[in-house]
RNA sequence: GCCCCUGUGGCGGAAUGGUAGACGCGGCAGACUCAAAAUCUGUUGCCUUCACGGGCGUGCUGGUUCGAGUCCGGCCAGGGGCACCA
């Protein structure tokens, strides 16, 4: 009897799998394909528990599908561009490229220690010239297809990271990475025309059944479709003003018109009106951060201009510039109907504008119905609205929209909240945008033959600003069109561009084209994608959009890149705080009697709630410390046990110890099994052990199919218990049970499985062994246990032979002592017999 | 403010409308040991009873049903997303 030594066994199997190229996926195979992908990591330095959880889940699916006979693609790469490399360069004086590739080498080694079934021959990093030069080609393709454009716009400027950000990357008015309040700047930048696909991206969500409902809903809200009417006001200064509304039915309740401070007309007015200019400046000073919006009052400036009501030219509405009107949505101008919109009501009360209700709830008298502090937004009938009077809201919308369209005053339109994706970044460590600015020709794409536009390696980080722009020579080039002196675009692409098509590149990472269309046609869509829910909008929306572009360009054959998505929960741990509220690292404390103290002292430390492991909270456990002591199988088993995969899991020492003990227990089960018949011996009969074996096979298969890893784990414990308890089972049944057990743990604890398989006398590999099949006749039992209830309360249980007729079940149930006692001699009012399940006697 | 999700033992969590608490962690008792670790056996929702047994239990509250953790209505608590989007 020997302990199972994971440290000895694990590297051995890993080397053998690699040597036999077990996980190298051919691009042609008679088997059905299965593409399993986990969101690729940013090479920050070392892997963390979140990676371990993510990659363990993906690995289980990949190995399970492989055992089921699929040609499985399970690749790995590196999302390797990004700001941390530049920060390291600035803080430590290293080269971003060296820093990144060093990290990749470290993390690759750590991932290999986990024993992942990955096709390493397809590995790449997005900072490889070979990758980003292909991305530059794609950028030019998208440009040609009209999916990329340059425009001057109000953009989000992160003053700490010194770059602009996309809307999706501004969280609560702050930069997603730096946390600094973003500022607004007017800059010419590159955009991806994601809005061109707004309707498609929205519509497709309804059919993405293997995506979490939550993620689909978040994307739906982010895209934000609303139907309404766009129409034009004639202004007293003989200008025209377009507005958008979703409530055209309330037009006769209008009492003002409002422009965004950023509206072109506001800017025109500011030129001649000092007070208007001052008001606009004031709005801009307050800014658009969350805090500012929370507290900012509705403010307006009466321009003195008036707008003629579309259905009554004599009815003139005052035109204000108002701080709550956003330039980025609709037309940047609205009409205000205070009675039925809260913001309009707040504004009207402040500036003493009329509040005329035009929608009256059922049962209210239109003559007396009034709106107080709250706008009425519910259903009702129109009043005070001329030709709309008496109509319900939806009918009124249709009527007024129809009249406007017939008279050429307006059109029904659909507005989206989604904005185009700003992809320019004023940073160094990213994919250079392959564009040239020529004084005479304007913007000229770099011809594909001149790609790649390579990043220089001699850049300085000790001066603020864009390092590429500051480089002495890099940006100076000649115009590809006229040959005159010209400047390169010194911005790089948002790193989310890099991760928006890597899944397609994995299909053939050596391809001369960005995406090998044949390979992509074979592999895509990804059958199972796994990653954190924090990417619900950003990465997952961008990738869906880019894939639609790829499809349009003929690179891919599918609309949606990820057929199945699974969002796993985070890995959490208790937190500890000292007296000053500072975070205390796990290594600095020790626990005694449920309390925490500084190591070797009596100074108590406050135990805080469990939170996602993070550097800042100092509550992270380094995976390698667990792997070094217990082995990869233990940490993998922990990640799969107990907690459902979509929920946050709490890392505990006791739990890890328990997993390690189970590894040993499984090993002993095999090692101390005693004499077994030779491999291939068939078991027969229907012993308890055989039933337990086949029930486990059926249950674990079902659980893995549905990504219920925690339940699969529980089934495996149950089978292990059954084997341990089956002292007098036949040796053939024992062999069958042990072999099933080993194959079932194969995807989860692959190293232990191989070792145990060998110990059972097998000379093949578990990774080459088909998934076991459950014998249906053994899964079902030949007796049925009925729960016998009286008035819905359990009083007894009783076994009946399978298929016993209802009358017999009823008769014998009534005769049971506890039932008879409850009935107390009286006949039952009613007896319900559910075959195979339950008898309920109503007394 | 709007939208969504989640509430089950000491803990993580099981449970096609049909025996609530599978499985694991932890606890308790015992075996082995000079002792400890490891391992093994038993036990472990709460109340009541010497015992047999009985009662109560899935956030609260009402309903549907022979039967509700599960379905429906109304609350409460925690978490998440969006947020001046016209």
Q: Output the 3-class SS for A522-563.
A: HHCCECEEEEEHHHCCHHHHHHHHHHHHHHHCCCCCCCCCEC
Q: What does the alpha-carbon distance between residue A176 and residue A128 come to, in Å, rounded to a whole number? A: 25
Q: Specify whether the CB–CB gap between A506 and A73 falls below 8 A.
A: yes
Given pLDDT bands bounded at 50, 70 and 90, which one contains residue A291?
very low
Stretch A527-532: mean pLDDT, rounded? 95
For the segment A108-122, the average pLDDT, to the nearest whole number, is 98
Tokens of A498: 């890099």
pLDDT > 80? residue A824: no
- Closest-lying nucleotide for A246 based on CA to C1': B86
Mean pLDDT of A37-51: 96
Q: How confident is the model at residue A290 (pLDDT cuts 50, 70, 90)?
A: very low
Give nucleotides in strand B with any atom < 7 A to a protein C-beta.
3-5, 11-16, 18-20, 22-26, 38-41, 53-56, 66-68, 81-86
Answer whether residue A698 shows pLDDT above 50: yes
**Cβ contact A830 with chain B strand, < 7 A:** yes
Q: Is A202 left (phi over 0), alpha (psi -120 to 50) or beta?
A: alpha
The reply to whether the CB atom of residue A311 sits less than 7 A from any atom in nucleic acid chain B is: no
pLDDT at A1: 54
pLDDT (tens digit per residue) in A389-420: 999 999 999 999 999 999 999 999 999 999 99
pLDDT at A240 over 80: yes
**Which residues neighbour A459 within 8 Å (Cβ) at sequence distance 6 or greater?**
A428, A467, A468, A470, A471
Measured in residues, chain A has a length of 843
Closest CA to A605 of A627, A580, A625, A569: A580
- Write down the pLDDT at residue A292: 54
How do A163-165 and A148-158 pair as beta strands?
antiparallel
Nearest CA-CA partner of A198 in A515, A524, A425, A421: A421
Mean pLDDT over A464-473 rounds to: 90
Helix (H) or strand (E) holding A156: strand A148-158
Residue A568 CA, nucleotide B41 C1', distance (Å): 39
Assess whether A837 (CB) lies less than 7 A from strand B. Answer: yes
- A577, pLDDT greater than 70: yes
Percent pLDDT > 70 in chain A is 98
pLDDT digits over A308-355, tens only? 999 999 999 999 999 889 888 899 999 999 999 988 999 999 999 999
Specify the nucleotide whose C1' lies closest to residue A324 (CA). Answer: B84
β strands within A702-820, DSSP E: 783-790, 793-801
From residues 381-400 of A, list those within 7 angstroms of strand B by Cβ: none
Dihedral over alpha carbons A81, A84, A87, A93 (to 10 degrees): -70
Contact predicate A435/A445, CB 8 Å:
yes
Non-local CB neighbours of A224 within 8 Å, separated by 6+ positions: A416, A417, A418
Distance A674 CA to B32 C1' (A): 22
Locate A169 and state its tokens: 């990357």
Per-residue pLDDT of A834-843, as tens digits, reads 988 899 998 7
Cβ of A718 near strand B (distance < 7 A): yes
Mean pLDDT computed over every residue of chain A: 92
Residue nearest to nucleotide B6 (CA to C1'): A647
C-alpha–C-alpha distance, residues A488 and A300, integer Å? 43
Choose from A118-132, A344-358, A803-817 the range with maximum mean pLDDT: A118-132
Sorted by sequence, the CB contacts under 8 Å of residue A407 that are 6+ apart come out as none
Closest nucleotide (C1' vs CA) to A248 is B86
- Establish whether the CB of A402 is closer than 7 Å to any nucleic acid atom in strand B: no
- Whether pLDDT at A120 is above 60: yes
- Whether the per-residue pLDDT at A294 is higher than 70: the answer is no
Instruction: Check residue A816 and give its pLDDT.
Output: 87
Question: In this predicted model, what pLDDT tens digit does every residue of A16-27 receive, in sequence order?
Answer: 999 999 999 999
Give ipTM to 2 decimals. Answer: 0.95
Q: Express each pLDDT in A545-565 by its tens digit.
A: 999 999 999 999 999 999 999
Whether A831 CB is under 7 Å from strand B: no
Cβ–Cβ under 8 Å, residues A106 and A1: no
Secondary structure letter of residue A210 according to DSSP: B
Q: State the Cα–Cα distance between residues A649 and A646, nearest whole angstrom.
A: 9
Average confidence (pLDDT) over A688-692: 93
What are the percentages of helix, strand and coil residues in chain A, rounded to 5?
A: 40, 20, 40
Is the Cβ atom of A702 within 7 Å of strand B at any atom? Answer: no
Q: State the pTM of this model.
A: 0.93
pLDDT at A287: 59
pLDDT band of A463, cuts 50, 70, 90 = confident
Cβ of A793 near strand B (under 7 Å)? The reply is: yes
Residues 122-181 of chain A within 7 A of strand B, judged by CB, are 171-172
pLDDT top residue among A803 and A203: A203
pLDDT in tens, A596-635: 888 888 888 888 888 889 888 889 999 999 999 999 999 9
C-beta neighbour count of A209 within 10 angstroms: 9
> Of all residues in chain A, what percent carry a pLDDT higher than 90?
72
The CA-based diameter of chain A, rounded to the nearest angstrom, is 109
Nearest Cα to A546, choosing from A515, A567, A513, A507? A515
């Amino acid at each position: 009897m020997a302990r199972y030594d994971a440290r000895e066994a694990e590297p051995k199997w890993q080397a053998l799998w690699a040597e036999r190229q077990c996980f190298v996926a051919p691009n042609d195979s008679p088997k059905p394909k299965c593409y399993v992908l986990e969101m690729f990591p940013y090479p920050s330095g070392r892997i963390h528990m979140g990676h371990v959880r993510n990659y363990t889940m993906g690995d289980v699916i990949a190995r399970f599908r492989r055992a089921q006979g699929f040609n499985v693609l399970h690749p790995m790469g590196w999302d390797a561009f990004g700001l941390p490399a530049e920060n390291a360069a600035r803080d430590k004086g290293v080269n971003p490229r060296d820093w990144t590739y060093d990290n990749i080498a470290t993390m690759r080694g750590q991932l290999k220690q986990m024993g992942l079934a990955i096709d390493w021959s397809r590995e790449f990093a997005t900072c490889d010239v070979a990758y980003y030069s292909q991305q530059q080609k794609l950028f030019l393709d998208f440009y040609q297809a009209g999916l990329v454009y340059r425009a001057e716009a109000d953009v989000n400027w992160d003053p700490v990271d010194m770059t602009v950000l996309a809307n999706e990357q501004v969280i609560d008015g702050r930069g997603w990475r730096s946390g600094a309040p973003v500022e607004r700047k007017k800059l010419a930048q590159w955009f991806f025309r994601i809005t061109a696909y707004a309707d498609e991206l929205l519509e497709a969500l309804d059919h993405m059944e293997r995506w979490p409902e939550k993620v689909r809903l978040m994307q739906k809200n982010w895209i934000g479709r609303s139907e309404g009417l766009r129409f034009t006001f004639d202004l007293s200064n003989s200008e025209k003003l377009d507005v958008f509304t979703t409530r055209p039915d309330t037009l006769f309740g209008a009492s003002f018109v409002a422009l965004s401070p950023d509206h072109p007309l506001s800017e025109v007015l500011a030129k001649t009106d000092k007070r208007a200019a001052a008001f606009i400046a004031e709005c801009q000073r307050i800014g658009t951060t969350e805090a500012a919006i929370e507290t900012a009052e509705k403010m307006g400036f009466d321009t003195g201009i008036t707008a003629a009501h579309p259905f009554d030219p004599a009815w003139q509405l005052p035109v204000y510039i108002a701080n709550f009107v956003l330039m980025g949505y609709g037309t940047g101008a609205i009409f205000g109907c205070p009675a039925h919109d809260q913001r309009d009501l707040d504004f009207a009360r402040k500036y003493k504008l009329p509040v005329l209700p035009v929608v009256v709830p059922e049962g209210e008298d239109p003559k007396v119905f009034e709106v107080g502090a709250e706008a009425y937004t519910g259903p009702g009938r129109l009043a005070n609205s001329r030709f709309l009077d008496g109509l319900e809201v939806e009918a009124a919308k249709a009527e007024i929209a129809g009249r406007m369209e017939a008279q050429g005053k307006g059109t029904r339109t659909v507005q989206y909240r989604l904005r185009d994706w700003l992809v320019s970044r004023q940073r160094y460590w990213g994919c250079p945008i392959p564009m040239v600015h020529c004084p005479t020709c304007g913007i000229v794409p770099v011809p594909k033959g001149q790609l790649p536009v390579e990043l220089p390696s001699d850049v300085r980080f000790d001066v603020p600003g864009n390092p590429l722009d500051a480089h002495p020579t890099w940006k100076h080039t000649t115009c590809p069109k006229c040959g005159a002196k010209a400047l390169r675009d010194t911005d790089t692409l948002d790193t989310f561009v890099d991760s928006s098509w890597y899944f397609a590149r994995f299909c053939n990472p050596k391809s001369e084209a960005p995406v090998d269309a044949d390979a992509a046609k074979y592999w895509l869509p990804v059958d199972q994608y796994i990653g954190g829910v924090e990417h619900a909008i950003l990465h997952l929306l961008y990738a869906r959009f880019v894939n639609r572009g790829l499809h349009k360009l003929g690179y891919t054959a599918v609309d949606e890149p990820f057929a199945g998505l699974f969002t796993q929960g985070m890995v959490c741990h208790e937190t500890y705080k000292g007296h000053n509220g500072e975070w205390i690292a796990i290594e600095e404390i020790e626990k005694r009697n449920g309390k925490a103290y500084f190591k070797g002292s009596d100074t108590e430390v406050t135990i805080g709630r469990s939170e996602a492991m993070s550097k800042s909270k100092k509550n992270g456990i380094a995976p390698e410390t667990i792997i070094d002591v217990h082995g990869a199988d233990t940490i993998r088993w922990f990640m799969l046990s107990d907690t459902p995969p979509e929920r946050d899991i709490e890392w505990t020492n006791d739990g890890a110890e328990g997993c390690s003990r189970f590894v040993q227990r499984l090993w002993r089960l095999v090692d101390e099994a005693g004499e077994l018949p030779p491999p291939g011996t068939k078991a027969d009969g229907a012993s308890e052990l055989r039933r337990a074996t086949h029930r486990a096979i059926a249950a674990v298969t079902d659980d893995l199919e549905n990504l219920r890893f925690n339940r699969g784990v529980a089934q495996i414990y149950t089978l292990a218990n059954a084997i341990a308890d089956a002292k007098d089972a036949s040796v053939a049944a024992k062999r069958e049970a042990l072999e099933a057990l080993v194959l079932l743990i194969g995807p989860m604890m692959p190293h232990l499985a191989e070792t145990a398989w060998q110990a059972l006398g097998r000379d093949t590999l578990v990774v080459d062994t088909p998934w076991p099949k459950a014998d249906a006749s053994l899964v079902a039992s030949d007796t049925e246990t009925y729960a016998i209830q009286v008035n819905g309360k359990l009083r007894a249980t009783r076994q009946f032979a399978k298929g016993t007729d209802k009358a017999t079940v009823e008769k014998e149930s009534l005769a049971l002592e506890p039932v008879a006692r409850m009935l107390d001699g009286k006949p039952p009012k009613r007896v319900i017999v559910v075959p195979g399940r339950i008898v309920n006697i109503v007394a």
